[in-house]
Chain A
Amino acid sequence: MIRDYFRIMKVDLTTGKASLLERPGRDQYLGGTGLAAMLFEEFGHMDRDWDDPEQPLIFTIGPLTGYYPLMSKTCCAFRSPYHNQYAESYAGGKSALSLRFADLDALVVVGKAARLSALCVGSRRVETRDVDYMRGFDALRTGRIVRKLFPGSGRRSILRIGPAGENLSAYACINVDTYRHFGRLGGGTVMGSKNLKAICILGDRGFDLPEGKAYSDLYKDIFKQLTTTEMMSKYHGLGTAVNINPLNELKSLPWKNLQQTSSPLADNISGERFAKDTLLRSAACAGCPVGCIHVGFVREQFQANNQYLYRQVSYDYEPIFACGGMLEITEAPQVLRLLDVIEKEGLDVMSTGVALAWATEALEEGVISRDETMVDLTWGNVDAYMQGSELISRPPNEFYRLLAQGAMKCAQKFGGADFACVLGQEMAGYATGEVFFVSEALGFRHSHLDSGGYAYDQKYEDKNVTRALDFLVNDGRERIVLNCMVACLFSRGVYKDELMAQAMEAVGYGALNDSLSAIGDRVQRLRWRLRLGMGYDPAKVVIPKRYTEVTTWKGPIDPEYLEALRTGYAARIMEMGAPLPETEE
């Protein structure tokens, strides 16, 4: 629905009441990440912890969601259990189009249900249901049951948590429509703390389109561009897993808890190998013809006499890096077995793999013992890692309770902080060099997608600190505009400024085109103000020693360059997040 205001459904789980709100601000915040930050300012509490029942869990879409291909993602914002500060995560599936067709720019959930509950919202529906019988159910089984509770096959989205969310692991994810996730920084934990097992969004409305052929013609043009470019062929073909081999060749593939940046065994878990040995089929987010979701299969003999079962498990580059290379599991089907367990437990796959990698090295080094780990966490021991993942999700002792809060928190108690691969959170799979390490360690989401630091490392060999910092800030701001649209970032090569302006124009948002850059700047500053206001001090961020021991294609890491980037970026963040001058208030 084209409108110059935001339409928001706010559900209070404590009272069971919902309200529909209208808010101005489209011209200031656009939608997506901007809208989420705006709503957190209104409904969030800077002076209360992440698990205060009144803290909001926010889902937002953008002005173009559903109107064009790949405008297909949702922004989820919350105060994170991982660092008790403002955070965001993104996912696709059918979540974005379901919100669009539920006629909501945002869904805000506050309060805490008395018992484990499921929430269903649609354009003509809002309902909370007691699902206490689902306590402890894994994320996939939960999905199967919620499908029956709230019918609407194909045109709804089901968000749910597994045991990890219920047990408040700091990096529990929200599973979206089986194969996608709000993965990072504990959105699933926030649902768990609210006693919210699942959210079903029914996309049950339609909207009039602009008259005339301009919109329809432009849609067709963008569709063609997105389905024929080389870049899209990469995501469509091997999927993101295609990155394993090139990063390995660049000596930028984190391996064995980043003891190495390449391995001759990497080819065994490459995108090519996954496709050849395990790829069952592809799937897509609703509204995206690219279909980057890759679903592999594993079959397992569970009884003698040829009795087999099979599992369908989605894979991508990041899960393979975290649960393949980092743990030196070097057979594709074995990686899928581990991913399947993590999926069911409802853990963030990157944090889980990287945390287990730290635990393996800590055990090897004698920092911890088997008394703590309970299972033999040794490189490549997939069965132990499967059990370890369940122990993170359902912690039986202090070690796993801390590991479930993050590898660094565990290391601070037991030792081994030097080799915890934590850059704000458990690292993403890019050992490309100094700029990426600083970008992820200090960045707003601690995500490799905050800005293209990994690409900058690969492009520039010199050590120009100012240029690198300018890049991080400016590229970050450009990505924020896309995140206000909540476009899939894979489309950023197609939705350049001119095309974006045409797309906005064709659906009646043309008046905003001149302000997109200013909106990016405004949202960048607002997000940092929220983060800093909750206690973030980028100057105090420590980049663990392991990162200075790494050798990439450029040679050994330069500690002085790393430090100059770290202090420089911290200063830029403080600048961006500076309080508003009094006159503007």
Chain B
Amino acid sequence: MKALRAARMERCIGCHSCSLACARQVHSFLSWNKSGIRIASSGGLSTGFEAKLCLACKPAPCAQACPTGSLAQRRDGGVIQKKNLCIRCGECAKACPVDAIFLDHQVNPYVCIHCGRCVEFCPHDCLEMEELPKTPKDKGDSDD
């Protein structure tokens, strides 16, 4: 099981192609917010960029905070999202330690599902899919 990593953000040019790709391909939106990865300048353009992105926690605080099981633990790290279970309480975003969950104005959460479909749209190869340490099957929830 792999996770998306913003491994080389010092190369980032701030084009937002990754965010636009996620919103377009995963969520069918034109947006740079409704995306599992969001780019911010770290204090103005002269200081470079940072990616707001799920770190694939295990256990994931957002899944633990979710009261309805809309976000559930992914076996080796990160979460599986079932949008139809979401009551839009926003607790997941509050629980995330790295501000990786975006809430739109209707409190719909957007979080990386580690599908990797944004990777090929980064012109500077900032992103990569990394194999996560395997969790023994009896110790975690399965997503497959």
Residues of chain A touching chain B, judged by Cβ–Cβ distance below 8 Å, are: 66-67, 69, 97, 100-101, 124, 143-144, 147, 153-155, 177-179, 203-209, 211, 215-216, 219, 223, 227, 236, 281-291, 293, 295, 312
Q: How far is the CA of A211 from the CA of B45 in the complex (A)?
A: 35
Find out whether the CB atom of B45 lies under 8 angstroms from the CB atom of A178.
Answer: yes
Which residues of chain A are near B135, meaning CB under 8 Å?
A: none
> Is the beta-carbon distance between A287 and B29 smaller than 8 angstroms?
no
Are B123 and A286 neighbours in the complex by a CB distance under 8 Å? no
Cα A215 to Cα B23 in complex, Å, equals 13
The residue from B13, B24, B38 contacting A154, defined by CB atoms under 8 A apart: B38
Query: Which positions 4-50 of chain B face chain A at CB distance < 8 Å?
Result: 13-17, 20, 23-25, 28-34, 38-41, 43-46, 48-49
Provide the bound-state CA to CA distance between A123 and B44, in Å.
22
Contacts of A219 in B (CB 8 A): 24
Q: Which of A147, A205, A208, A284 contacts B13 (CB 8 A)?
A: A284
Q: How far is the CB of B1 from chain A (nearest CB, A)?
A: 25
Query: Complex: how many Å from CA A234 to CA B35?
Result: 31
Nearest CB of chain B from residue A60's CB, rounded to whole Å: 18
Interface status of B139 (Cβ within 8 A of chain A): no
Residues of A within 8 A of B20 (CB): 66, 287
Closest to A215 in B: B24
Question: Which residues in B have their C-beta under 8 angstroms from that of A288?
Answer: 15
Please, which residue of chain B has its CB at the minimum distance from the CB of A280? B46
Structural contact, B45 and A177, CB atoms closer than 8 A: yes
Q: Enumerate chain B residues within 8 angstroms of A203, measured Cβ to Cβ.
A: 32-33
A-B contact pairs, 17 of them (CB 8 A): A67-B30, A69-B17, A144-B44, A154-B32, A155-B40, A178-B44, A179-B45, A206-B23, A208-B29, A209-B24, A211-B28, A219-B24, A281-B48, A284-B13, A287-B16, A287-B20, A295-B46
Smallest distance from the beta carbon of B84 to chain A beta carbons, Å?
18
Residues of B within 8 A of A143 (CB): 44
**Beyond A178-B45, A284-B14, A289-B15, is A207–B40 a contact (Cβ under 8 Å)?**
no
CB-contacts of B79-134 with A (<8 A): 104-105, 121, 123-124
B positions within 8 Å CB-CB of A = 13-17, 20, 23-25, 28-34, 38-41, 43-46, 48-49, 104-105, 121, 123-124
Nearest-CB residue, chain B, relative to A295:
B46
Give Cα A285–Cα B32 distance, bound, in whole angstroms: 13
How far, in angstroms, from A290 to B17 measured CA to CA in the complex? 10
Contacts of B121 in A (CB 8 A): 223, 289
**Given A154-B39, A285-B15, A101 and B28 contact (CB-CB distance below 8 Å):** no
> Contact check: which of B24, B33, B40, B124 meets A204 at CB < 8 Å?
B33
Residues of A within 8 A of B32 (CB): 97, 101, 154-155, 203, 206, 286
Would A207 and B29 count as touching, CB distance under 8 A? yes
* Closest residue on chain B to residue A236 by CB atoms: B123
B16/A101 in contact, CB under 8 A: no
Residues of A within 8 A of B44 (CB): 143-144, 147, 178
Residues of A within 8 A of B123 (CB): 227, 236, 289-291
The smallest C-beta distance from B52 to any residue of chain A, in angstroms, reads 8
Nearest A-chain residue to B29, judged by Cβ: A206
Q: Complex Cα distance A291/B34, Å?
A: 23
Q: Chain B residues with Cβ under 8 A from A154's Cβ?
A: 14, 16, 32, 38-41, 49
With a CB–CB cut-off of 8 A, which chain B residues contact A207? Answer: 29-31
Q: Which residue of B lies closest to A153 (CB)?
A: B40
Q: How far is the CA of A101 from the CA of B38 in the complex (A)?
A: 14
A232 to B46: give the CA distance in the assembly, Å: 24
Q: What CA separation (Å) do A281 and B41 show in the bound complex?
A: 14
- When chains A and B are docked, how far (Å) is the Cα of A518 from the Cα of B40? 41
A339 to chain B, nearest CB (A): 14
Q: Which residue of A lies closest to B104 (CB)?
A: A206
Contact residues in B for A211 (Cβ distance below 8 Å):
28
CA distance A286 to B43 in the complex (A): 16
- Known contacts being A155-B40, A291-B123, is A209 close to B28, with CB within 8 Å? yes
Known: A216-B25, A284-B15. A312 touches B41 (CB 8 A): no
With a CB–CB cut-off of 8 A, which chain B residues contact A177? 45
Complex contact A206–B30 (CB within 8 A): yes
Interface contacts beyond A281-B48, A287-B16, A287-B17: sample of 5 additional A-B pairs, CB < 8 Å, sorted by A: A101-B32, A154-B14, A178-B45, A216-B25, A290-B123
Complex Cα distance, B13 from A283, in Å, reads 4
Using known A-B contacts A97-B16, A216-B24, A289-B17, determine if residue A209 contacts B38 with beta carbons closer than 8 Å: no
What residues of B have a CB within 8 angstroms of the CB of A312 in the complex?
A: 46
By the criterion CB–CB under 8 Å, are A286 and B16 in contact? yes
- Contact among B28, B41, B46 for A208, CB-based, below 8 A: B28
Q: CA A162 – CA B39 in complex, angstroms? A: 27
Identify the interface centre among B23, B31, B38: most chain A CB within 10 Å of its CB: B31
Whole-angstrom distance between the Cβ of A159 and the nearest chain B Cβ: 14
In the complex, what distance in Å separates the CA atom of A179 from the CA atom of B16? 17
- Which of B15, B33, B38, B40 contacts A291, CB < 8 Å? B15
B13 contact set on A, CB distance < 8 A? 281-284, 291, 293
With both chains docked as a complex, state the minimum distance between the C-beta of B114 and any C-beta of chain A, in angstroms.
20
Q: Which residue of B lies closest to A311 (CB)?
A: B46
In the complex, A290 Cα to B45 Cα: how many Å? 17
The winner among A143, A219, A283 for most chain B CB atoms within 10 A is A283
Closest Cβ of chain B to A437, distance in Å, is: 36
> Within 8 Å CB of A101, what residues of B?
31-33
Using Cβ atoms and an 8 Å threshold, which residues of chain A touch B104?
206
Q: Which residue of the partner chain, among B17, B24, B33, contacts A155 with CB atoms under 8 Å?
A: B33
